Amino acid sequence: MAEKPFFPIYLDVSQKKLVLIGPMPRTGRAAQQIAGYCEEVIVIVPPKEKDGRTDASAAAPLPSNVKFFCKQYDRDDLYSADMVFCFSEDEEINRDVYAACKCLGIAVYIDSNKYKRDFYLQPKGVQTDGRTENKNAAAFEQQAGSAANTDKKNTPAGENQVRRENGQRTAALLNVRMYTDGSARGNPDGPGGYGTILEFTDSDGNLHRREYSRGYRKTTNNRMELMAAIAGFRQLKVPCNVEVYSDSKYLIDAFNRHWIDNWKKNNWQHTVNGRKEPVRNQDLWNQLLEALNGHTVSFRWVKGHNGHPQNERCDELAVSAACSEELRDEDTAV
């Protein structure tokens, strides 16, 4: 199985079986994006949501571990699932899926354009498949039956609530801390590497952490500092509130002192010793701007080699990557 992306709703779930419910082509696109991170994906397109593109051939090309069904959604489809994504435009289906997953202890993500909903429920406690003891059957039926009349404001804690500002739909963003560092041996134009740490604390107070690193044959320290940030943002699959911590003034000041705004305004030119010169590493600055698009980002400088745990760890990752035998050329993907 491929490495899981840093997407908070994946973190607490064993990715064996995912169920996607909703119209094509949205469910098909979602299946293609997540099939590499789990063993089995079930796509269910309810008949009432047919749009002329819901037969099996229209879903192609789907990965081999994706099974496609155009049929009426049934709660039995959820029993063996590890996670459920529901993109239905039918509010009755959304409410029923949410209530069923809540009772069965299955993580569920609801996203409905029509009903302006976008929230996530990470169940607490041990998950059950709803069949072994069946002791929750009564509660299941009661919650599922009353779900259609439940007001949104009474939904349980743990879901990603939706704010409304000026009548617009604004999902509450997830808070992520990103720590980055870059290293280059024989700087400039020697081997180098980057290290990145992403941290997220869920609603139960549990810390989730991911580390990323990669080494390159010929690079500079500044390029590795930028690549560390680019790599971190590319792991975020939903909009987030991101705090970036780095010991690189080159990275932090570019945003906090608005250098990058001036560079863009001046067509990526800046003044050096009274002369206009091209801004270095424009290719990576553009990649970084694209990667952080859609996120709410703040940049914080930390003093390097000063005992900051995550900064020290990022330095270890970067140095180790630079010394690795598996170095890449910079024209390969970050």
Active-site pick, 133, 305, 325, 329: 305
CA distance 213 to 228: 8
Q: Is 225 annotated as catalytic?
A: yes
CA distance 318 to 217: 13
Active-site pick, 22, 192, 225, 232: 225
Active-site pick, 28, 182, 215, 232: 182
Active-site pick, 49, 77, 96, 315: 315
Q: Is 182 annotated as catalytic?
A: yes
Active-site pick, 181, 193, 195, 295: 181
Residue of 263, 320, 323, 311 lying closest to 289 (CA atoms): 263
The structure tokens listed for 328 are 């890449």
Residue 216: alpha-carbon gap to chain centroid: 25
Active-site pick, 77, 82, 111, 247: 247
Q: Is 208 annotated as catalytic?
A: no
Q: Is 181 annotated as catalytic?
A: yes
Residue of 69, 64, 81, 24 lying closest to 43 (CA atoms): 69
Bridge partners (DSSP) listed for residue 272: 275
Q: Is 186 annotated as catalytic?
A: no
- On whether the CB atoms of residues 238 and 174 are closer than 8 A, the answer is yes
The SS3 assignment for 272 reads strand
Concatenating the DSSP letter of every residue in 118-179 gives: EEEE---S----SSSS-TTHHHHHHHHHHHTT--GGGSPBTB--EEEETTEEEEPPEEEEEE
Q: Is 258 annotated as catalytic?
A: no
Kindly list the catalytic residues.
Answer: 181-182, 225, 247, 305, 315
